[in-house]
Each structure stands twice: as C-alpha cells, then as structure tokens.
Amino acid sequence: MASTDIGFIGLGNMGGRMSKCIVRNGGTVVGFDTNSAVVADAGATPASSIKDVVTVCDVVLLSLPDSRVVEKVVFGDDGILANARAGQVVVDLSTAAPESTRRIHALLAEKNAAYLDAGISGGAAAADVGKLTLMVGGESEVLEKVRPVLENFATNIFYVGDSGAGHVAKLLNNFLNAVSLAATAEVMVAGKKAGLDLAVLLDVLNKSSGVNFATLNRFPKIITGDYLKGGLTNTLMMKDVVLYTELVSQLGMSSLNASGPLAAFGLAKALGYADEISNTVVDAIGDISGGVRLHDTKE
C-alpha cells in the first residue's frame, strides 16, 4: 500500500485505545473525531475532516456508536464514499446493523474500494493491552491484506464470512453477554439479600454450571466496588440487544430470551445509569430491591 499512515475515525472509548496500540507498536495514525480533544490523547495526528483522513490513508478504521453514525460518516458530502479510491480498505470496528453494512460494502465496491465489518470483543481492558478479539466479514483476501494493522490491537482474528457476517457474529456475542450480565446481576443481588458471602458465592458459581464471563471477570471486581469503568454503557448495551432482536426478526425467528436484558438495561437507563458502564445494571436492580449494593466501600 502506498500510505503507511493508518486513518482512524472515532477515537472515543474503544477507538482511542486501539489507536494507542497502533502508535505504541510504531505506527502512525491520522485521526478524526467530532470531539477534537480525544485525538491527541489517542496518539493520533489530527485531521481537520473525514475527507482529510480518507484522502491520505489507504487503510481507514471506524469505531463509531451505531449504524446511524456510520452512515453519516460514509455518506456525508465530505465523507468516505465521496472520497474513496481504488485499492482503499475501510474496516468498520463498530457494532452496526448488518443490512446497513452490506449496503455500504456494495457501494464502496463500485469504486473498487473494500469494506470489512469487524466486530470486536474484549472490552476496554483487552483494548488497553492490544488483546481484542475480532470477528470479520467481507473478502478474506482483503482481511489478509490488513491483518498486520489489526494485529496491533487484536490477538484473535476470525474470518466469519461474507459482508455483514462480522456484525452478525458481534450481535450474537453481545446478546449472550447481555443475558449473562443481566442474569448474574440479579443473582448477585439475591445473594446479597439472602446474606451470602458474595466472594464465596462467586467461587461456587465459577466451579459450577452457572459460570459465565460475568461471574469470572466482572463480579469479582464489582463486589469490591470496582465497576471496571470504561466499557460498554447501559445505553450501548441496550442498543445492541435491540439490534439483535431486529436481526432475529429478519431471520424469521422469535427471541425467547430478549425480554430479560431489555428489561434490565432499560431499567438502568430509566434510573439514571444510561451513560455508566453496563456493569452498573446491578445497582439498578439493587435500587428497586431495597437499595442493595454488593459492596460496602464508596465508589
């Protein structure tokens, strides 16, 4: 590729961390974010517009909140589609609607540019140390072309199929994440109200059939008052569950298990935790259960 600079649009919570990994490994990032203050914090060279990023970089990474924002970045007058060129690769690391992803892929292909959808998993902690998991959709040969870039922040990179497949896999993963987090939060509040030692309860769960990512990685911290701030918010978790329900509806399925996380994260939003990390769903459940907190320390 002609340009060694890597473009990055969206340098917030996750994008900023991924950008830092690239820079730490010796790469150069040209970045744009509507909040210009975060660009320098991410180690990137500021660009004045999306157009400026696309014009100078052969590989452009996106890390944006949802498809609405992705489409604004792609279809704007000075956006990606208007300025894309043959041989360019755009990698969408957002959690987005697969249908929108496939449309963007087709339109960029008309300009002989490539579009990969690369769902990410691992959260802020994995992003900090460059150990994210990626699930990638699009052309496999394009993935191999940009794999060295992605390896700056991901240790597990899975090719899962054609355009949109990466975002489908991401929605499936995030739905399971939402179910296990919401259910574990409810169980932990019940354990607290029942007078159990929560550390012992977690040891029991983690050696039993109830074990899951939340029992292993989230709640051992939460019961000490550490909510692992910096990860997915309740608002974004709710968005992902809604996208999942839209996906299964398009597939002609019903979702028998979506009501739990929809209720839990909807409750968290309603009680003022919308922009807090999704782990605070346990406090929302605690609020309506008599003001229960899993820990005795102050945040």
What is the set of active-site residues? 170
Q: What is the DSSP string of the chain?
A: -----EEEE--STTHHHHHHHHHHTT--EEEE-SSTHHHHHTTPEE-SSHHHHHHH-SEEEE--SSHHHHHHHHHSTTSHHHH--TT-EEEE-S---HHHHHHHHHHHHTTT-EEEEEEEESHHHHHHTT-EEEEEES-HHHHHHHHHHHTTTEEEEEEEESTTHHHHHHHHHHHHHHHHHHHHHHHHHHHHHTT--HHHHHHHHHTSTT--HIIIIIHHHHTTT---TTS-BHHHHHHHHHHHHHHHHHTT---SSSHHHHHHHHHHIIIIITTSBGGGHHHHHHHTTTS--S-SS--
